[in-house]
Amino acid sequence: MSGQVKAGYARALDIRRGRVDLSHGGGGRAMVQLVRELFARHLGNTWLEQGNDGTVLPPISGRLVLTTDSHVVAPLFFPGGDIGSLAVHGTVNDLAVMGARPLWLTAGFILEEGFPLGDLDRIAASMARACAAAGVLLVAGDTKVVEHGKGDGVFITTTGVGEAHPHCTLSGSAARPGDVVLLSGTLGDHGMAIMSQRENLGFDTPIESDSAALHGLTAQLMACAGADIRLMRDPTRGGLAATMNEIADQSGVGVLLDEAAIPLRPEVAAACELLGLDPLNVANEGKLVLVCAEQAATALLATMRAHPLGRAAARIGGITTDANHFVQMRTQLGGCRMVDWLSGEQLPRIC
């Protein structure tokens, strides 16, 4: 992300009124100026300042966990977050639910010609705050610019590296009949925050995204009963329904959820009803699903509820024997219904 050019420019970037132009992705002085005066001002550190094509990282004692993700959310700024913090949280969480301690991130930015530099500055600052709060460093990056009309402001791709817990054996194929399903909090907050802004919906209690880094919570859960945790997942795109179907499919089991036990904010329930959406399909960016052995469920639930990001945690169901690998839900009316994969794209550009 850095470059070696002479210090000083004829004119500093006009962050307040300036806009991205094609030269900012051209590999020349303008690009280096954008990196130095905008990105490095917020995200700079000794790794980036090396200015090499890659970053040489120190060895670690444990196993590495690697993940990558792309972020195309629209709008870029939404109640409770923005694409910058979302990109950091999403990648940190992918590492965290693998039982890893997040260490380093990289970021690739696809910018559209004409995008306001002031908005890009806000996004970079938000990423920096999210990285600092999560205790991770951005150690490499890249910037490209596409012509006006061929992008949508900003797309960000992030890659994360973490160190696995020494006794971590988490896997989507590890769920067994008799296991318990825990959920760390209310469903659908992120998806409905995005949709309420897109549709200009107003509620007495505004809906904010739950976007947050979960590594602190997962570390405490691993310390509590890591050997009894089968797997953890963050239910992002496709929501809880997709996550539970993935687990059922990978592990070759069934899942029975309890509708009455699933936490849901009244305003999110109202928004889903208004828009004709099933909250089980709506994305979350600060929640985790945990499958564990029965004997550890009470202690793990108490650990979740003692953490700020898990106060509304609940035991929402269990793993069953089912040759068809169905996910079903016991309804509040006493019946039972299928919880299937999302068909098509219900909420595009949600993360």
Residue at token pair 């070759």: 252
Strands 81-82, 77-78: pairing kind: antiparallel
Q: How confident is the model at residue 5 (pLDDT cuts 50, 70, 90)?
A: very low
The CATH number assigned to the domain holding 287 equals: 3.90.650.10
Could you read off the pLDDT of 179-222 as tens digits, one per residue? 999 999 999 999 999 998 888 777 777 899 999 999 999 999 99
Q: Which of 5-19, 37-51, 147-161, 212-226 has the lowest mean pLDDT?
A: 5-19
Residues 210 and 294 in one domain: yes
Residues 69 and 41 in one domain: yes
Residue 162 CB partners (closer than 8 Å, separation 6+): 64, 65, 66, 67, 95, 96, 98, 100, 101, 102, 103
Predicted pLDDT of residue 342: 81
Residues 230 and 109 in one domain: no
> Is a pLDDT exceeding 70 seen at residue 1?
no
Contact 158, 69 (CB under 8 A): yes
How many percent of the chain have pLDDT more than 70?
97
Residues 219 and 119 in one domain: no
Please count the structural domains in the chain.
2
Quick one: which of 314, 241, 247 has its CA closest to 278?
241
Residues 76 and 36 in one domain: yes
Whether residue 219 lies inside any domain: the answer is: yes
φ, ψ at 148 (rounded to 5°): -55, 130
- The 8-class DSSP code of residue 36 comes to I
Whether residue 169 lies inside any domain: the answer is: no
Residues 223 and 279 in one domain: yes
Quick one: which of 4, 71, 70 has its CA closest to 31?
4
Residues 154 and 185 in one domain: no
Quick one: which of 3, 53, 8, 10 has its CA closest to 27?
3
Predicted pLDDT of residue 50: 86
Whether residue 10 lies inside any domain: the answer is: no
Domain containing residue 263 = 179-338
Quick one: which of 168, 142, 271 has its CA closest to 223?
168
Predicted pLDDT of residue 90: 97
> Is a pLDDT exceeding 90 seen at residue 149?
yes
Contact 166, 222 (CB under 8 A): no
Residues 156 and 189 in one domain: no
- The 8-class DSSP code of residue 35 comes to I
Whether residue 286 lies inside any domain: the answer is: yes
Residues 88 and 124 in one domain: yes
Residues 26 and 133 in one domain: yes
Whether residue 210 lies inside any domain: the answer is: yes
Could you read off the pLDDT of 261-272 as tens digits, one per residue? 999 999 999 999
Strands 327-330, 289-292: pairing kind: unpaired
Mean pLDDT calculated for residue range 282-294: 97
47-68 CB burial, b ≥16 within 10 A, e <16: bbeeeeeebeeeeeeeeebebe
Whether the predicted model's global pTM rises above the 0.75 cut:
yes
Whether residue 193 lies inside any domain: the answer is: yes
Residues 121 and 157 in one domain: yes
Whether residue 171 lies inside any domain: the answer is: no
